[in-house]
Amino acid sequence: MEVIKKRNGFLIFILSFLYISQIFSYINAQTWPDNPPSNPPSTINYNLYYGWNCISCPGEPVINNWNTIKSGNPNIVAVVEYDTIQKKYVITNNIEFGKSYLVGVNTSETQISLQYYPRSSLTREAKYGWNSLGSISCIIPASNVTSTPSGKLLAIVSYNNSKKKYEVASTIEPGVGYLAGCNSDCTLNMSCSPSAPPAKQKIVTKPSWESVLTVNTQTEHKKLVFGMNKSASDGVDLYDIPIPPLPEIFGDINAGWVTEDLAFELLETSFVKDAPEANWELSVELSESGEMIWQNLPNTYNFTLLYDDKVVNMNNERSISLP
- pLDDT tens string 95-145: 999 999 999 999 999 999 999 999 999 999 999 999 999 999 999 999 999
- pLDDT value of residue 248: 64
Degrees to nearest 5, angle at CA 105 with 100 and 107: 150
> Which pLDDT score is estimated for 244?
87
Q: Which percentage of the chain shows pLDDT scores above 70? A: 83
Q: Which residue has the higher pLDDT, 198 or 205?
A: 205
In angstroms, what CA-CA distances link 143 with 83, 85, 128? 24, 26, 19
Cα separation, 126 vs 180, whole angstroms: 8
Mean pLDDT value across residues 179-200: 82
Cα(140)–Cα(137) distance, integer angstroms: 10
**Alpha carbon of 162 to those of 48, 52, 166, 208, 244: distances in Å?**
11, 10, 11, 35, 16
Contact 129, 264 (CB under 8 A): yes
Is the pLDDT at 165 greater than 90? The verdict is no
Q: How confident is the model at residue 22 (pLDDT cuts 50, 70, 90)?
A: very low
CA distance 158 to 170: 9
Per-residue pLDDT averaged across 164-185, rounded?
Answer: 94
Lowest mean pLDDT among 58-67, 100-109, 145-154, 203-212: 203-212
- Per-residue confidence (pLDDT) for residue 92, from 0 to 100: 95
Least confident interval from 112-126, 149-163, 187-201, 250-264: 187-201
What are 89's strand-pairing partners? Answer: 82
39 against 11, higher pLDDT: 39
Upper half-sphere CA count for residue 278 (Cβ side, 13 Å): 17
Report CA Rg, the chain: 25
User: How does residue 310 score in pLDDT terms, banded at 50, 70 and 90?
Assistant: confident
Spell out the residues 6+ positions from residue 38 whose beta carbon is closer than 8 angstroms to its own. Answer: none
Distances (CA, A) of 168 to 34, 112, 160, 185: 33, 26, 10, 21
> Residue 40 — pLDDT band, cuts 50, 70, 90?
confident
Q: How large a percentage of the chain has pLDDT more than 90?
A: 64
Q: Are 79 and 70 a contacting pair, CB within 8 Å?
A: yes
Provide mean pLDDT across the span 41-65: 96
Given CA atoms 84, 171, 246, 72 in this order, what sign does their dihedral have?
positive
Residue 199, pLDDT > 70, answer: no
Rounded average pLDDT over 143-151 = 94
Q: Taking all residues of the chain, what is their mean pLDDT, rounded to a whole number?
A: 84
Handedness of CA 179, 181, 187, 190 (dihedral sign): negative
Task: With CA atoms as reference, report the closest residue to 80 among 51, 59, 108, 60.
Answer: 51
32: number of Cβ within 10 Å: 13
The more confident residue out of 28 and 140 is 140
Task: Report the distance separating Cα 201 and Cα 115, nearest Å.
Answer: 36
Quick one: which of 249, 256, 248 has its CA closest to 215? 256
Cα–Cα distance for residue pair 123/118, rounded to 1 Å: 14
